[in-house]
Amino acid sequence: MIEATFRNARKNLRFMTSFQVRWRDSPPAEVARLQGAQDEVLGSLNAYFQGLIAQGQLPPLDTAECAELLNHLVSATFQQCFAIE
């Protein structure tokens, strides 16, 4: 999935600068849409980590915090690789 994401980002490199969204400058409807998308990603990651803990594949940890950290790491990686000019 990661390789496919990077392939797609490289293929559409001209659009990656749009990834740098300034929430504070966006209209309220766009901010709500972006927040909803981010909440969905965080919820999915949180559930994934909880499932790993339930299966004994991870020790108990703060899954919400790990989801947020991973989301920030991936966002920063894409920004460094594709969006910064």
pLDDT digits (tens, 9 = 90+) for 15-62: 555 555 566 677 888 778 878 888 998 999 999 999 999 999 999 999
Domain assignment of residue 23, yes or no:
no
Q: Which domain holds residue 64?
A: 29-85
Number of domains in the chain: 1
Within a domain: residue 83? yes
- CA 3, CA 18: separation in Å to the nearest integer? 21
What is the pTM for the complete model shown? 0.68
- Is residue 40 situated within a structural domain? yes
Give the span between the Cα atoms of 9 and 49, in whole angstroms: 26
Report pLDDT for 53. 96
Q: Is 10 contained in some domain?
A: no
Question: Is position 39 within any domain?
Answer: yes
Residue 18: per-residue pLDDT: 56
- The predicted structure's pLDDT at residue 21: 55
* SS3 category, 58: coil
59 located within any domain: yes
Instruction: Give 3-state DSSP helix, strand, coil % of the chain, rounded to 5.
Output: 80, 0, 20
Q: What is the pLDDT of residue 4?
A: 74
CA distance 20 to 17: 6
* Cβ pair 63, 53 in contact under 8 A: yes
Q: Is the pLDDT of residue 13 over 90?
A: no
The answer to whether residue 34 is domain-embedded is: yes
Look at the block and give the residue holding tokens 């392939």.
7
Does residue 12 surpass a pLDDT of 90? no
Instruction: Work out the end-to-end distance of the chain between its first and last CA atoms, rounded to an integer number of angstroms.
Output: 25
